[in-house]
Amino acid sequence: MDESISQSAPVADVGAPPRYLIVFFGALAALGPLSVDAYLPAFPEIARDFGVGIVSVQNTLSAFLIGYAFGQFFGGSFSDQIGRKRIGYIGLGVYICASLAIAFAGNVSQMLVLRFFQAIGGGFSTVICMASVRDVYPLEQLGRRFATVTMIVLCAPLVAPVIGTMLVPFGWHKIFLVKAAYAAALLCAYAAIVPETRPGHWRSLSVRSIFVQCFDVVTRRVDGRRIPIRYACAMGLASSCLMMFVTNASFIYQQYFGVSGFHFPMVFAASVLGFMSMNLFSMRRLGPHNAASLFRRGLAIQLFAVVTLVAVVASGHASLWTFVPFIVLMMSALGLVGPAGSSRYMGFFHKLAGSAASVYTTLMFGLGGILGALTGFFYDGTLLPIVGAMLGASVLANTIGLSLPKGAAATS
């Protein structure tokens, strides 16, 4: 590890963190789901406007997830070097410009490219949230703090489709203008009231060091075993099921099951409410003593839900009443997996919190983007490619989860 980075960029002493700090980082992290969910109800409208099929519009979402992974990989590690706020400023600035440009895109190819750059800005902006929480809160509070951030983030999937549905009659372009305005408000708040949690210097900027830092994260051993990266891989695979669902949500509900644009946000919200309920349980009950067991239970619940989805689809009995409850259960499981896994994983890192967040989120959004694109590639008009890809990801996540120790988290 490059020692100059570790010593020139100490974690800032912000004293007792102000109460609004966790709310701000939750609102900033919500930029990710807002960027995805707000335009889901507009997919049919965008497809008609550009004269393409709905799968072509879904590809803009896969491009976003891949770009988001790219931005998070570099953004987190750069924030370890030059400071969290500089990366946040750059990311929000890029996001705002790209969002405004998308509102004036002339075809789906332009939109796809601009969504990729919008995602890079979003990745820079949001990857610093996990790292900043790790900077300022003690280890024993991390699980509950991550759960709090997640609870705030989950407000976006509830509200975003409603906003999108309300704006569609005025033109899908307005959705991206609203996204730009939200990012601008975050930028102003970040500059005015949020302290720097990890100071840095421009002279510390080194692309080479990014790979050194991330290599340190990937190869970090605990008791002679590469435990941290196993948590990252298991969480990334479990979360990719969520990404695949979101990528295909418009097709599943609006095209396959015939849900109207007006009712789409309501059906979509059922999954989010399930996620929130389990996340609320994590906020109240999660601690260092039970994080590992809750993590494995969450993975097992998700696997059960996905196996049932495959059985329902393969048997030809898929309907809203047989499909939606198990999508809700699959999403709810992430309310255990995310906070418990994040508290364990981030607990292994302190000075490299940004790089650790980069590795995890790059895995999550990269896998989600790639697997989401594959479901489009194997599109056959049925739900089988979607639930089949979810099953593969969930089986791998559980296999890795079973290899993890049951003891309390170690720290770096």
Q: Is the pLDDT of residue 5 over 50?
A: no
Q: With respect to residue 407, please indicate whether it lies within any of the assigned structural domains.
A: no
Per the model's pLDDT, the better-predicted residue between 4 and 92 turns out to be 92
Q: Looking at residue 410, what is its pLDDT?
A: 47
Q: With respect to residue 412, please indicate whether it lies within any of the assigned structural domains.
A: no
pLDDT of 262-294, one tens digit each? 788 888 888 888 888 898 888 788 877 888 899
Least confidently predicted of 7-11, 104-108, 136-140, 336-340: 7-11
Q: Is the pLDDT of residue 10 over 60?
A: no
Q: With respect to residue 247, please indicate whether it lies within any of the assigned structural domains.
A: yes
Percent of the chain surpassing pLDDT 90: 42
Task: Indicate the residue type of 104.
Answer: F
Q: With respect to residue 188, please indicate whether it lies within any of the assigned structural domains.
A: yes
Q: b/e map of 358-395 (b: 16 or more CB within 10 Å)?
A: bbbbbbbbbbbbbbbbbbbeebeeebebbbbbbbebbe
Q: What is the tally of structural domains in the chain?
A: 1
Work out the average pLDDT over 392-406.
93
Using CA atoms, how far apart are residues 259 and 35, in angstroms rounded to an integer?
A: 22
Per the model's pLDDT, the better-predicted residue between 407 and 92 turns out to be 92
Average pLDDT, the chain: 87
Q: What is the DSSP letter of 203?
A: G
Least confidently predicted of 92-96, 284-288, 337-341: 284-288
Q: With respect to residue 409, please indicate whether it lies within any of the assigned structural domains.
A: no
Write out the residue range of the structural domain in which residue 116 sits.
18-402
Using CA atoms, how far apart are residues 76 and 107, in angstroms rounded to an integer?
A: 32
Q: Give 143's pLDDT tier (boundaries 50, 70, 90).
A: confident
Most confident of 57-61, 217-221, 391-395: 391-395
Q: Looking at residue 182, what is its pLDDT?
A: 96
> Which CATH number is 373's domain given?
1.20.1250.20
Q: Give 8's pLDDT tier (boundaries 50, 70, 90).
A: very low
Q: With respect to residue 5, please indicate whether it lies within any of the assigned structural domains.
A: no
Please give the model's pTM, rounded to 2 decimal places.
0.73
Least confidently predicted of 46-55, 242-251, 371-380, 390-399: 371-380
Q: Looking at residue 409, what is its pLDDT?
A: 46
Write down the residue that tokens 């059922």 correspond to. Answer: 270
Per the model's pLDDT, the better-predicted residue between 15 and 49 turns out to be 49
Q: Is the distance from CB of 183 to CB of 191 less than 8 angstroms? A: no
Burial of 314 (C-beta count, 10 Å sphere; 0-12/13-18/19+): middle
Work out the average pLDDT over 165-194.
94
Q: With respect to residue 74, please indicate whether it lies within any of the assigned structural domains.
A: yes
Q: Looking at residue 13, what is its pLDDT?
A: 52
Work out the average pLDDT over 135-148.
81
Per the model's pLDDT, the better-predicted residue between 376 and 347 turns out to be 347
Q: Is the pLDDT of residue 12 over 70?
A: no
**Radius of gyration for the alpha carbons in the chain, expressed in angstroms and rounded:** 20
Q: How remote is the C-alpha of 87 from its chain's centroid?
A: 18
Q: Looking at residue 372, what is its pLDDT?
A: 76
Work out the average pLDDT over 197-208.
83
Q: Looking at residue 65, what is its pLDDT?
A: 82
Q: With respect to residue 8, please indicate whether it lies within any of the assigned structural domains.
A: no
Q: Give 9's pLDDT tier (boundaries 50, 70, 90).
A: very low
Q: Looking at residue 1, what is its pLDDT?
A: 39
Q: Token digits for 5? A: 């980075």
Q: Looking at residue 15, what is its pLDDT?
A: 56
Q: Looking at residue 407, what is its pLDDT?
A: 61
Q: Looking at residue 4, what is its pLDDT?
A: 39
Work out the average pLDDT over 333-359.
85
Q: Token digits for 56? A: 């072509």
Q: Give 3's pLDDT tier (boundaries 50, 70, 90).
A: very low
Per the model's pLDDT, the better-predicted residue between 49 and 357 turns out to be 49
